[in-house]
Amino acid sequence: MAGNAVEYIYTDSRHSNPLCRVTPSEFMEAEDFDYDKEKYREMLLEATETVLRSFGFDRSVYGNAAKKKIRKWWHELSEERIRDRDRETERV
């Protein structure tokens, strides 16, 4: 009904059809329950990195290096600042 929250579960986050990537939780049966573990792992690592980044947490240590996710612009900016800082300390 209008206004109700829809609960869904990622079942195949890499499916070519976006409508087939999730399944409403009410359609999931207990014995036929199959969810996309890799998607939830990525989401957990992203959230953890967001919270713990200031303490030096880097999800690449725990993530799958073969499946590198598209980096966000602030990651690129942070890496550029580190490179600039390293170049400046080399000059001194």
Query: For the segment 7-37, what is each residue's pLDDT rounded down to a tens digit?
Result: 888 988 888 888 888 988 887 776 567 888 9
pTM here?
Answer: 0.58
Same structural domain, 28 and 41: no
Same structural domain, 30 and 49: no
Q: Which domain holds residue 22?
A: 1-35
Domain count, the chain: 2
Q: Are 75 and 60 within 8 A, CB to CB?
A: no
What pLDDT, on a 0 to 100 scale, did the predictor assign at position 55?
84
What pLDDT, on a 0 to 100 scale, did the predictor assign at position 66?
46
Read off the tokens for 76. Answer: 């690129």
Tell me which of 10 and 80 has the higher pLDDT: 10
d(CA 92, CA 87): 9
